[in-house]
Amino acid sequence: MRAVVLDYGAGNLHSLSRALAVVGLDVDIETEPARAVRDSDILILPGVAAFGQAVGRIGGARAILRDALRSGHPCLGICLGMQLLFSSSDEGHGDGIGLLDGRVTRLAGRRLPHMGWSSVGDLGEMYFAHSYACRPDDPAVIADRAYHDGEEFTAVVRTARTVGVQFHPEKSSRPGLKLLARLCREVTT
């Protein structure tokens, strides 16, 4: 299975690519969104950057990505990649891909960014590094939640053949790698 990681200036391209290879995927990194969709069995939207910067790099290709995901192209969004699936964000200017209606807002916790391990429902402990969280308009897309400083936030979203995770499975040790492999299989079958 071929995974293409879309390069829009996010900082975890190489660690994520290595993790995808470890779980058995052929991995490429691509800067052109249309080519990333065309050449992939699964599109990967990585994290570790700012929303405004990322949408600035994606530019007018938001519609290409949204249309591909709406038509069923498999996708996994990680951290910022999950946030980009939404309509808008309080972090930076510009619209997201808009696959999911909702807004990305700043966490209310005293200690930001939220960096470290937190429990995610039945998934166990996963590694987070974020200051913003997704607030879907439709609660039916929320697959799991987590907490930071007593605030509940969306940790996993799922719609059709797209899954977004707020945490970093590639940095979440063996359980994260197992989850990464499972999610890639689930959205492509």
170 in active site: yes
Nearest Cα neighbor of 45 from 87, 89, 91, 96 is 96
* Residue from 30, 73, 79, 130 carrying the catalytic annotation: 79
168 in active site: yes
> Helix, strand, coil: what percent of the chain each, to 5?
35, 35, 30
* Residue from 73, 75, 148, 170 carrying the catalytic annotation: 170
CB atoms within 10 A of CB 138: 11
79 in active site: yes
- 34 in helix, strand or coil? helix
Report the C-alpha gap between 108 and 88 in whole angstroms.
18
| Residues designated as active site | 79, 168, 170
